[in-house]
Chain A
């Protein structure tokens, strides 16, 4: 087929054509890791046949991404809103077991802050800073580092305690 490179002797992880074709969609999606993405990039620079395939696929991506937005009809909302059972919702409200406030929900904090890496890393930094502060002449900035490092873990724990308190109070009431 059109200058297809079937060689298996991949020098230093260089891609062959079938592998490159396999990864083209992920490459265009941006979901390949850096190393593989670079592999595809380098192969495309060398291989005209795969470049043609890449360009064709890229054009498809572009066309799909730029499908024009259509405008919903002007009277769209009225029919929907007229059918909402507002009264039923209001009547059910006192019966519904309330959930915890939104700021106590896990996902109120950004994912990176909830990540184990951040929390563990933060605690290690906090411990180091506290140790240095105790050992040294008491520099204030070390305490700031300690507080910032411990913050993610502390916030998560506070949320947890808050959820328990709300839950307990509801159960008693």
Chain B
């Protein structure tokens, strides 16, 4: 999907302090990282801040990048973790029901928004895209990330396993579960209109 070889050449130029090389990386990855952060948070301001922070962090830590792996995997890993950390920090906004455990042991957290206007009732009357965005946003963060990496960034299972440093079987199981969940939620909400 992303040109690993081209990236490596550009990163080496970055490490020599070539300003144009950093701009090239931004041009290549600004869109994907911004979109990932946006779909993770559903908030344009958060998405801008988070994605800028990801690039700032990455551009400072280039010496820690292990050239054995694709740069895109490293970048997506940092972005995914950054978004998940952000969502965790903001968890006080959510009442969290814990203890629901999925078949592969990962905690399947249910997050129920409370306080303020109920987004459900408002958005369900809007476009299909918005409904889907909301369903994605209601997935637990790890499932959300994996769904976006697969369907928005079009990464293969192998690439996702490299990004998230998970075994291939776990990646597959989680994607399958996330999709089943999305399908169920879409169907359930279709009746609510």
Separation in Å of the B81 CB from the closest CB of chain A?
Answer: 18
| B44 neighbours in A (Cβ, 8 Å) | 73
Could you say which of B16, B59, B152 contacts A90, with CB atoms under 8 Å apart? B16
Question: What is the 8 Å Cβ interface bit string for chain B, positions 51-70, against chain A (1 contact, 0 not)?
Answer: 11001100110110001000
| A71 neighbours in B (Cβ, 8 Å) | 31
| B84 neighbours in A (Cβ, 8 Å) | none
- Tell me whether B12 is interfacial, beta carbon within 8 Å: yes
- Tell me whether B89 is interfacial, beta carbon within 8 Å: no
- Tell me whether A102 is interfacial, beta carbon within 8 Å: yes
Q: Is the interface of B mostly helix, strand, loop or mixed?
A: helix
Separation in Å of the B119 CB from the closest CB of chain A?
Answer: 18
| A107 neighbours in B (Cβ, 8 Å) | 4-5
Interface size on A, residues (CB 8 A): 38
Q: Contact at B48–A56, with CB atoms within 8 Å?
A: no
Q: Contact at B30–A72, with CB atoms within 8 Å?
A: yes
Q: Contact at A60–B182, with CB atoms within 8 Å?
A: yes
Q: Contact at A76–B34, with CB atoms within 8 Å?
A: yes
| A60 neighbours in B (Cβ, 8 Å) | 179, 182-183, 186
Separation in Å of the A35 CB from the closest CB of chain B?
Answer: 19
- Tell me whether A46 is interfacial, beta carbon within 8 Å: no
Known: A63-B132, A67-B151, A93-B16. A77 touches B26 (CB 8 A): yes
- Tell me whether A5 is interfacial, beta carbon within 8 Å: no
Most central of A60, A65, A80, A83 by chain B CB within 10 Å: A80
Tell me which residues from 20 to 44 in chain A have a Cβ below 8 Å from any Cβ of chain B.
25, 29, 31
Instruction: Identify the closest chain A residue to B13 (Cβ).
Output: A89
A80 to B51, CA, bound (A): 10
| Additional pairs, 6, CB under 8 Å, beyond known A57-B179, A69-B31, A70-B35 | A60-B182, A72-B31, A76-B51, A80-B52, A80-B56, A84-B22
Q: 5 smallest A-B Cβ distances: which pairs?
A: A90-B17, A89-B17, A64-B151, A72-B34, A80-B55
- Pairs A–B under 8 Å by Cβ, sample size 24: A57-B179, A57-B183, A60-B182, A61-B179, A65-B154, A67-B39, A72-B30, A73-B44, A76-B34, A76-B48, A76-B51, A77-B23, A81-B23, A81-B26, A84-B19, A87-B17, A88-B17, A89-B15, A89-B16, A92-B63, A93-B16, A102-B9, A102-B12, A107-B4
